[in-house]
Amino acid sequence: MSWKETYQSWIKRDDLEPSLKEELTELEGQDSKLEEAFYAPMEFGTAGMRGVMGPGINRMNIYTVRQATEGLANFMDELDDKTKQRGVAISFDSRYHSKEFAHEAAHVLGAHHIPSFVFDDMRPTPELSYTVRHLKTYAGIMITASHNPKQYNGYKIYGPDGGQMPPTESDKITDYIRKVTDIFDVPVAKEQVLRQNGLMTLIGENVDEAYLDEVKQITINPELIREYGADMKLIYTPLHGTGKVLGNRALQNAGFSDFTMVPEQATADPEFITTPFPNPEFAQTFDLAIKLGKKQKADLLVATDPDADRLGAAVRQPDGEYQLLTGNQMAALMLNYILTAREENGTLPANAVAVKSIVSSELATKIAEAHGTKMVNVLTGFKFIADQIQSYETTKAHTFMFGFEESYGYLIKPFVRDKDAIQGIVMLAEIAAYYRKQGKTLYDGIQDLFKTYGYYAEKTISKDFPGVDGKTQMANLMTKFREEQPAAFADQPVVALEDFEKQLTTYSDGTSEKIALPTSNVLKYQLKDGTWIAIRPSGTEPKIKFYIGTSADNNEAAQQKVADFEKAIDRFIVA
């Protein structure tokens, strides 16, 4: 069907959900906008389905949510009855329609006699991952668009291990979803009936408590917190999202009692009024926290994105200004602390392992090696980290210590199988206390690591390619990098090109080697001086991401190198 035919099939329906109908009527005649909404069904990317809300098959709305859930339900119908009856855990964030979508999903599952366990109010993504394991459900659904702007929503699917479904499983579900061709004809059961029949159960405080009990296990050195953490001044902002439900309780439980939530941002607000891009990767998300921090002379500011799986932080400097830490720096601090502290208290296992994505800092690899810990690299997407953890559980070959990705995602303990910013806050606060004991800050801590392991610097650069044309432009740019094969960046010769789509590393001497990771549209250039540059289209937003990782003898030199490589990339793009 052409996009126009699909559009017609929507506009002519009398029973279309009224607000979608209204929006569709407003769009009449705006062909490029309509084409975008109707040209293709939503895809499952790095983190499930994510897109702008509104009418259309390429939009998040009750019909596409029903369709996705019908696919999952059809898939579960083929499981043995006992497995199917384990049901599905469902959570949602603070966005427009999130709660409604969560309930729609439950109604579709209910029509298949699949029980659902739905949170009574918004809850963090990591808690949903935990819930799948805790309640032993077969699957999980999280309604969220994470850190995207307010127009977006999304649908993450979790498997029985509590991890977001890896490609083999999610492709299977996608096949089932594609087979649901009439999205207006998905059966939905009535909530009241489901509630009476025990097919839809509301969950909340009990699961919160169980989760928070697990979070208590994050703390490595409670005494340190008592002595140097209790009176440390912290500011926390949940950026209008789910973190506010548990972040403060987690900090309190761990013994940090002197903290304030940024009041303007401690309200669940689908407008994200104070922070239209609620992504802790962006400095602007810290504006209000910094203001409050300066007033209170707070030692540490922490921010979680609306579904509380990403964590950002800023540290008070001696001059009273705040220094933001990058995702890679926070990860380095966490990994170093976990391995050092566990070595000291004699609990570092001989088969310790840490896992990171291929586009994250090599500083962490150095730290791991120095502590006799293996570092495993996986593709972008926390589901791949979860997959590793699951395999270690089966083979017992390794003991998981830490997992992270540069995009502000960390996991400390595997009772959750996704990045967990609530765990992250507690760990980072403990590390701040550790440095405080030495009269230092987290920023000093990262400088110490640089002194020991080299001055590492990284940068992620995103270039936006919105709309239908954007997809083609991104594909063309990836082809350009593949075909024109730059021989050097900023005078540093390329010594190897890792093409994760072809699953092949080609060295400058012409030899090649297979890459043992699933196929993915990513290119990674290794340069002579140890710098790496990676390129990939984002799986959650219409962007191409460029990643630069380098190191030098001092901070300035490392930053200068990053700037030079960024310019070199830009030059290659326009050439």
**Closest to 533 in 3D by CA, of 359, 281, 356:** 359
Shortest reach from residue 68's CB to ligand G16, in Å: 16
Q: Any contact of residue 93 with Mg ion (CB under 5 A)? A: no
Measured between alpha carbons, how far is 221 from 258 in angstroms, rounded to an integer?
Answer: 18
Residue 152 CB, nearest distance to Mg ion (Å)? Answer: 11
Q: Distances from the Cα of 537 to the Cαs of 190, 285, 461, 520, 545, in angstroms?
A: 41, 24, 11, 10, 6
309 binds ligand G16 (CB under 6 A): yes
Give which of ligand G16, Mg ion, none residue 561 binds (C-beta under 5 to 8 Å, depending on kind): none
328 binds ligand G16 (CB under 6 A): no
Instruction: Give CA–CA dist 286/284, Å, rounded.
Output: 5
Would you count residue 146 as binding ligand G16 (CB under 6 A)?
yes
Q: Select the residue interacting with ligand G16 from 361, 526, 538, 551 (CB under 6 A).
A: 538
Token look-up 């994470």 returns 146
Residue 1 amino acid letter: M
Distance separating alpha carbons of residues 451 and 471, to the nearest angstrom: 43
CA-CA distances (angstroms) from residue 47 to 38, 101, 326, 469?
22, 17, 22, 22
H or E stretch covering 268:
none
Q: Is 18 left (phi over 0), alpha (psi -120 to 50) or beta?
A: alpha
Residues 428-467 that bind ligand G16 (CB under 6 A): none
* Residue from 55, 293, 539, 549 binding ligand G16 (CB under 6 A): 539
Q: Which is nearer to ligand G16, 183 or 308 (CB)?
A: 308
Minimal CB distance to Mg ion: which residue? 146
**Residue 388 binding ligand G16, by CB under 6 A:** no
Structure tokens at 395: 């083979």
Which option in Mg ion, ligand G16, none does residue 238 bind, with CB closer than 5 to 8 A by kind?
Answer: none
Residue 405 binds Mg ion, judged by CB under 5 A: no
Looking at residue 182, its amino acid is: D
The nearer residue to ligand G16, 381 or 445, going by C-beta atoms, is: 381
| 387 forms part of the interface with ligand G16 (CB under 6 A) | no
Contacts of 563 (CB under 8 A, 6+ apart): none
| 357 assigned to active site | no
Is residue 151 a contact partner of residue 53, using CB atoms and an 8 Å limit?
A: yes
Among 39, 44, 46, 313, binds ligand G16 (CB under 6 A): 46
Residue type, 531: T
For position 406 contacting Mg ion by CB under 5 A, the verdict is: no
Q: Which of 169, 309, 406, 418 binds Mg ion (CB under 5 A)?
A: 309
Report the site for Mg ion in 289-308 (rule: CB under 5 A). Answer: 305, 307
Bridge-based pairing of strands 300-304 and 234-237 is parallel
Is 361 a binding residue for ligand G16 by CB under 6 A? The answer is no
Cβ atoms of residues 294 and 262 within 8 Å: no
Q: Which CB sits closer to ligand G16, 164 or 248?
A: 164
Pick between residue 165 and residue 289 the one whose CB is nearest to ligand G16: 165
The full length of the chain comes to 575
By CB under 5 A, is residue 146 in contact with Mg ion? yes
Determine, following the binding rule CB under 6 A, whether residue 310 of this chain makes contact with ligand G16: yes
Please tell me the distance from the alpha carbon of residue 351 to that of residue 397, in angstroms, as a whole number.
7
Q: Which of 91, 94, 146, 407 is catalytic?
A: 146
Provide the greatest CA pair distance for the chain: 70
In whole angstroms, what is the distance from residue 157 CA to residue 382 CA?
Answer: 13
What is the DSSP code string of 337-354? HHHHHHHHTT---TTEEE
- The amino acid occupying position 74 is N
Interacting residue with ligand G16 among 381, 403, 414, 424 (CB under 6 A): 381
Q: Out of ligand G16, Mg ion, none, which partner does residue 84 contact, by CB within 5 to 8 A per kind?
A: none
381 binds, among ligand G16, Mg ion, none (CB under 5 to 8 A by kind): ligand G16
User: Minimum Å distance from CB 323 to ligand G16?
Assistant: 23
Q: Which is nearer to ligand G16, 255 or 381 (CB)?
A: 381
Per CB under 6 A, the list member of 242, 481, 541, 549 interacting with ligand G16 is: 541
List CB contacts of 278: < 8 A, sequence separation 6 or more. 147, 149, 239, 240, 241, 272, 285, 305, 306
Catalytic site residues?
A: 146
Binding residues for Mg ion, rule: CB under 5 A, are 146, 305, 307, 309-310
Footprint of ligand G16 on this chain (CB under 6 A)? Answer: 46-47, 146-147, 309-310, 380-382, 405, 407, 409, 538-541, 545
